[in-house]
Amino acid sequence: MKKQNFQLIGRNNNKGLNFCALFFIVVSVLIIGNSVCYAAEADQHEGAQYFNQVCSACHTINGGRLVGPDLVNVQERRSDEWLGQFIKSSQTLIQSGDPQAVAVFEEFNSMVMPDAPFTDEQITAIIGYIEVASGGGEETVGDGSEDAVDPEVLSEEAALIETGAASIEKDIILGQNLFQGKIRLQNGGPSCISCHHVKNDAVIGGGILARELTTVFSRMGEPGVRAILGSSPFPVMQQAYLNKSLTDEEIFAIVSFLEQADRDHMFQQPRDYGVKLAGTGVVGLMVLLGVYSVLWRNRKTKPVNKSIFDRQGKSQ
Amino acid sequence: MDVRSQVSMVFHLDKCIGCHTCSIACKNIWTDRKGAEYMWWNNVETKPGTGYPGKWENQDIYKGGWEKDGDSIALKGAGKKKGLLNIFHNPNMPMIDDYYEPFTYKYLDLIESPASDDQPTARPVSLITGKPIDIKMGPNWDDDLSGTPDYARNDPNLEGLTPAEQDAMFQLEKMAFFYLPRICNHCLNPACVAACPSGAIYKRGEDGVVLINQDVCRAWRMCVTACPYKKSYYNWNNGKSEKCILCYPRIEAGFAPACMHSCVGRIRYLGVILYDADQIESAASADESELVDKQLDMLLDPYDPEVIKAAKANGVSDSTINAAQGSPTYKFVKKWGLALPLHAEYRTLPMLFYVPPLLPVMASVTEVSKDQNDNLNPIAKQWTDSWLYDTSTEELWGTIDQARLPLKYMANMFGAGDESKIKGQLQKLMAVRIYRRWKTVGDISEEKVNEVLKDTNLTAELADEIYNLTSLAKFDDRFNVPPAHREQAIEMLEFAGDEKGSTGFGIKEKVQRGL
Ligand code: SF4
Ligand code: SF4
């Protein structure tokens, strides 16, 4: 028997709720009254937090282009309303034929900017933050978060890549293995190959759930790739790596691999197993069936009355 | 002593008229569904014959039941090791053609066909494919077909009979047959339960009904092969196995199962028997010669104070013990020793018992009667019966030894192959008849009757009791359905006090108005 909803119990609960609500309203009025003065500051702080969490994967404020444009003083170029719409759903704006939106989309290799899961207030906070941060002039903004990209650091790492071919080779191999899942990601995230493919001799048949990454390096540039690996703006990828973020070494290795893949993809001829692959499958199946037919040879395959059925007349 | 209660059954084969009413009652309630059309949880077969599914008694084909394994027993075709090895192909499973391909007729064609030169016919169509088929077989295809080479002569129970004996059985003027109605035996040592890899089959504690949990069944079909009686069936439509549920919803409401309720011949009896669960293993692994006796030894006297005490300690309710004391099946099986389990050698300890048929014995007197030709009515080929009950004692038991269906054949079914196991039962049945003949017709001397009763350890009272329960029994005498105590079962699962003080009935949607 299931528990039933009984009328009396329902009533009691409702009454209780009403008292609760009243109490809650009184308390919240008091709290809100106190906190109004902090609101502006909090807003900005919130904006910084959102920007670093999500936007900074592709954008900087006065830090140069990454995947998307540098947003320093963007308010001078676009209205807040336009920004709001673009952040909310860039594709809607682009498809509506807004010339500015189309232009920026094409300028940045038609990279789709994913729709951000923000409320209107949060968007306002972010725009507010960009404005404040732009006002900061020369200095790089976006610090205070490990995801933020510091151009100096970038160039240092770039330098690292250029020095010492051995270390590059090692990193590329590591990246390749991480990409293919031969080595597990340290924090338990899924390996890249589950969703992505790269045309490379080492990779047989990557995933087709997400974009093919052979030329990602030329499309986004190193900082872009690095930023996306650090903190992905794509909702699905975000979910997949929630609490399982990649370590800096892993990012470095994968980026090295992707760079190599991009550079060399013209010369890569991943082995095409073609018919042979299918053939192996068929032969394997035959062997398996052979084994089964031996193992299962004593299976009853004839009805006990077969001899009677065989003698019976048939209409067709 | 671990006393438990079991709802047990007795089928009195002498009374079955082979009308199949029981099968139809069951079909209409339980198996008239897609995927279940071919199942007959209750079926009636003609013996000698191969039955349904074909040759089900031949465990070389189906590998059902248990076999002796040292001191203990092991499943013949399933179990942990064998089951795992065979789990994906289950080599001994019956095929649909072993049962039969279920069919119906296109009756509507008879009335809806447009006018034409030919009469419309109702073609048979398969209930599995929906396409027209040639009917090859039915669930009682060899009904009444004793003597046929395909069916009767392939009866697995003929094993151990000499070719001469077999031939004698099927000679035209001597041919005999009887009916064997079968349902799940709700065994004490069910092979189906032991074989299920999912643990979906269980034996209900309160009344011993064996059930398949449809939520847990994973379609391995191990029970289908493991049950030596082939009484677990696979529903190809919903992918679950099903079996006789002894109409437990009816039993819980105090009714007899549908097959028993509807039985025209009134051959069926149902009642509680108390048994000692501690003896299950030793009884099931006894030597073949002791199997029947050991099984009967497990069944306990419901009047014995020790038994009652142990039963109560085990949670058997007073009303169930009461039902056991008035149980007609206990009388047949234990008190009178008339009923025997079918194929005890499968070692599942079946709890459906059969009173073996005596009927074909009558005409066997011809063998010992020199002047049979004088007694044979040349046209009707019926025996003039003035001498049939002329029963000098030697001749009386002689008729049983030379029955038309040889004792060995009966023993193969009801005595685990041992003729001495079944002879006593048949003699008792005969004694009661002779006693009643003396009472109602009076052409037999009292002296002879007393001799006969003494020979079989019966008294006049006992003989009357047997006669009453056999021939005159009313509904409530035949079925002593124990009270179900569902409320106790529910209280074991949840605290009923939770509902106390509530409005008394539930509401489906939340009330929107009010505080
Ligand atoms: S007769 Fe019934 S309880 Fe016994 S093994 Fe078969 S299905 Fe199970
Ligand atoms: S209804 Fe009774 S008499 Fe008729 S076939 Fe079934 S068991 Fe026999």
Residue pLDDT, tens place only, B247-269: 999 999 999 999 999 999 999 99
Count CA within 13 A, CB hemisphere, residue B26: 27
Tell me the pTM. 0.68
Q: Which residue has the higher pLDDT, A175 or B490?
A: A175
User: CA A140, A142, A144, A145 torsion: positive or negative?
Assistant: negative
pLDDT of B376 over the 70 cut: no
pLDDT of A96 over the 70 cut: yes
Q: How far is the CA of B44 from the centre of ligand 2 (A)?
A: 7
pLDDT at A263: 84
Residue whose Cα lies nearest atom 6 of ligand 1: it is B227
Q: How far is the CA of B100 from the centre of ligand 2 (A)?
A: 21
Cα separation, B38 vs B36, in Å, equals 6
Q: What angle do CA A156, A158, A162 make, to 5 degrees?
A: 115
Q: How far is the CA of B189 from the centre of ligand 1 (A)?
A: 9
When CB atoms are compared, the residue of B55, B97, B506 closest to A5 is: B506
pLDDT at B80: 83
Cα separation, B311 vs B320, in Å, equals 10
Q: How far is the CA of B233 from the centre of ligand 1 (A)?
A: 11
Residue A260, helix vs strand vs coil: helix
Residue whose Cα lies nearest atom 4 of ligand 2: it is B19
pLDDT at B507: 65
From the CB of B184, is ligand 1 less than 6 Å away? yes
Structure tokens at B106: 């296109």
When CB atoms are compared, the residue of A5, A9, A305 closest to B54 is: A305
CB-CB under 8 Å, A300 with B511: no
Cα separation, B404 vs B408, in Å, equals 11
pLDDT at B373: 53
pLDDT at A7: 35
Rounded to an integer, what is the distance from CA B335 to the centroid of its chain? 20
Q: How many CB pairs under 8 A join A and B?
A: 78
pLDDT of B162 over the 50 cut: yes
From the CB of B344, is ligand 2 less than 6 Å away? no
Which residue among B143, B267, B352, B355 has the greatest number of ligand 2 atoms within 8 angstroms of its CB, and so is best to mutate?
Answer: B267
From the CB of B181, is ligand 2 less than 6 Å away? yes
Cα separation, B410 vs B361, in Å, equals 12
From the CB of B258, is ligand 2 less than 6 Å away? no
pLDDT of A148 over the 50 cut: no
> Which H helix or E strand runs over B5?
strand B3-12
Cβ atoms B48, B357 nearer than 8 A: no
Q: Which residue has the higher pLDDT, A264 or B3?
A: B3
Average pLDDT over residues A184-199: 89
pLDDT of B362 over the 50 cut: no
**Residue B299, strand partner residues:** B275
The bound ligand whose nearest atom lies closest to the alpha carbon of B212 is 1
Domain ranges of chain A: 35-148, 151-264
When CB atoms are compared, the residue of A14, A292, A303 closest to B514 is: A14
Cβ atoms B407, B423 nearer than 8 A: yes
* Cβ contacts of B248-253, under 8 Å, gap ≥ 24: B248/B204, B248/B207, B248/B209, B248/B211, B251/B7, B251/B207, B251/B209, B251/B481, B251/B484, B252/B484, B252/B486, B253/B484
B225-249 residue pLDDT tens: 999 999 999 999 999 999 999 999 9
> Among A96-100, B190-194, B381-385, which is the least confidently predicted range?
B381-385
Burial class of residue B308 in the structure, from the number of CB atoms within 10 Å of its CB (0-12 exposed, 13-18 middle, 19+ buried): buried
> Which H helix or E strand runs over B411?
helix B407-414
CATH for A35-148 is 1.10.760.10
Domains A35-148 and A151-264 share a fold: yes
CB-CB under 8 Å, B507 with A11: no
Rounded to an integer, what is the distance from CA A144 to the centroid of its chain? 22
Residue B316 has a CB neighbour count (10 Å cut-off) of 22
> Among A183-192, B13-22, B354-363, B384-393, which is the least confidently predicted range?
B384-393
Q: Which residue has the higher pLDDT, A226 or B304?
A: B304
Prediction ipTM score: 0.81
B448-468 residue pLDDT tens: 889 889 989 999 999 999 999
Cα separation, A226 vs B425, in Å, equals 92
Q: How far is the CA of B336 from the centre of ligand 1 (A)?
A: 26
Instruction: Report percent pLDDT > 90 for chain B.
Output: 67
Cβ atoms B194, B78 nearer than 8 A: yes
Indicate left, alpha or beta for B52 from its phi (over 0: left) and psi (-120 to 50: alpha): beta
Q: Which CATH superfamily is domain A151-264 in?
A: Cytochrome c-like domain (1.10.760.10)
From the CB of B256, is ligand 2 less than 6 Å away? no
In chain A, whose CA is at the least distance from the CA of B91?
A299
Residue A182, helix vs strand vs coil: coil
Burial class of residue A152 in the structure, from the number of CB atoms within 10 Å of its CB (0-12 exposed, 13-18 middle, 19+ buried): exposed
Cβ atoms B145, B375 nearer than 8 A: no
Cβ atoms A67, A211 nearer than 8 A: no
The bound ligand whose nearest atom lies closest to the alpha carbon of B15 is 2
